[in-house]
Structure 1
Amino acid sequence: MMHARVQPETRRPRVAVIGTGGTFAMHGRHRFDWIEYADSGVIHPIDALLQSLGELAPDAEIVPVPFRSLGSVAIGPNDWLELARLIRDAAAADPSLTGFVVTHGTATLEETAWFLDLALSLDQPVVLTGAQRPANTDGSDAAANLRGAMAVASDPRSRGAGVLVVMGGAIFAARDVTKAASFELAAFEAPPYGPLGRVDADARVVYRRRMPDSEGASRARFRNVIDHAVALPRVDISMSYAGADGAAIRGFVQAGARGIVCAGLTPGRAASGERAALLEAVAAGVVVVQSTRSPRGLVPRQRFLAADGLLAGGDLSAQKLRIALMLLLAARDAQAAQDETRMNDEAIQACLLDL
């Protein structure tokens, strides 16, 4: 007598969804309110928004996790610290969670994603997504982006890949992604490397590029910063342009900047009028990193940088260099507090170029 084989029960993925506000949570005043929808003053909490969107991922259980609602132009380092701790603590409290999705405003989505990528050390996927149009307006991408993010967070191949961004059906590494357009639906890109993969129309996840290393030796320096940092050191970005005279750099130093990223002209050099201010900043103990305002720029180690005491920013964007430098300076402060060997500028340089 033959017996039917009993198939083992497959556990349904459980994905925590953390809402932080942004366009995703806002309410348009009319069906084509795609620009000034913030004027409605309505921001939906994540649990209410999930209920209004209906079934998005029938094969996954959605676990809403409350945070606070912010416009993406308002989010800052203290919010990043709290969000990272929330994700870390939720993962520790509920090991059955398959992954995390964070809904976020698109203006600073890439910065939050990069901070979380550096600060967190989780096996579970953390996926950020947002919307270019509010959920109640025509042509909104809110539900589709959340569906795609849920699929990526539920996929076993996403584990250990660090923080990912899913927008417009594309999967991006937090390191590479940037918002390249104000109002287009396909606003996110990753120059020059491109996306890691895509989410097909049937929610199938397709990876076409190797995942970045989220546990490299340099990244170990960022771990545990969220455990002890009350606030992150101030790091500012100075934008170079023809005729820039260094006034902004001097202002940042006067305001107490511990680090400055100079988003230089496309060759990776500051304007001539800024050099004196940069030298003054270095002499005052400020860590200065030379970057470029070019979207595909590269600033390697060079003699003129070393001679002036400036660090090379490699191919990271200025905004992502700022975040990495904030975390490195916080890690250095922690070392000093614990009487450990203090990280010098050369160690910071090596780390920045290794990310």
Structure 2
Amino acid sequence: MINYRTYEAEDFLFDESFRQWTTGTSPQAAHFWEQWLAQNPDRAEVTQQAQELIHALNDHYQDDATDDRIELEVKKLMSKAAERRETEQEEETEHPVIPLGQRPWWRWAVAASIMLMGVSTWFYVNRLPKPALDSYEYVTRTVTTIPLEEKVNTGTKAINVLLSDGSVVTLNPNSRLSYPSHFNTSARTVYLSGEAFFDVVKNPAKPFLIYANQTVTKVLGTSFLVRAYYREKEVTVMVKTGRVSVYSQKDYENAQQSGVRRVDGVVLTPNQQMTYNLEENRLVKALVEEPAALIANRPSREQVFEDASIARVFSSLERTYGVKLIFDEDALAACLVNVTFNEENLMERLDVICQTIGASYKVLDGQIVITSKGCQ
């Protein structure tokens, strides 16, 4: 969490939300800074100084702030300062010595220096790459109306973050998580930049929301992975247990503002994943690369089938891995299977079964579709 109490006037100039508040372009920023000043009245003077400088820069340059124009104005000011200095030096032989700080040329030089610093500041402030309106920085510093704590993992190993509701977030390296110290609203909302595994405590009355790089993941209680690094072109959500819904942030917030109860998104169940392409604004549902058994102990992975119908075999696989298998039960009614599985993963087991009954399969929309001509 940013400690604004350590900021000097020039530090506030480089803060996007502070500039938006000063120029009146963001109600959210105004709400945050007015609340912050009410809690930190001793910082009123330094923030006022920063605001005055921002207004001065905007008033002076907003109409014609070209590179050539600003450079010309600075040269003129410095030239005038130099002329004043020469004049004062000539007059010093005829008049008593004037203290340095009171000489007119000295004030011109100071003014020129201040103007030069102001020009540099204006260039820096206005040419900073502005964060996207749905970026982690913008949302956590401007949009949110409650104070947030931030955990940053700069190490090489994952770290655990315990939230106030008992949920645990395993934060991977080069990742950041912002969250309130207490969830006291109708939803449990956190913000992620990077990758983290969430083990969320179930609470149907208070859904858990993860904002991550233009996406919103909504759950009641489950475990899943979210990967949303800032410079990557895709966001990925992979479910281990339970059920989650994933939306584009734009669609989700538009629905909330308009009062629409149903939002178009993607529902994921165990061993399914969602990939959101930021450039195409498209949600794609699929199976994870290596589906895992929902219960990882040895007995659940071991499966023995003796003269078992294909319907029974596929039903067992569905229960073990939580993945939907679609097939023509009537066409495969005569197919019986004798096989024992132990350490094989889901795809390996499907390979064996399909070879046995002369079938094939493909993954489609997070489900597995089996095709076969049947058994004689």
Same fold by TM-score, threshold 0.5 exceeded? no
Structure number having the greater strand percentage: 2
TM-score range, shorter chain: under 0.3
TM-score by length of 2: 0.26
Q: Compare relative contact order (CA 8 Å, sep 6+) and give the higher one, 1 or 2.
A: 1
TM-score by length of 1: 0.27
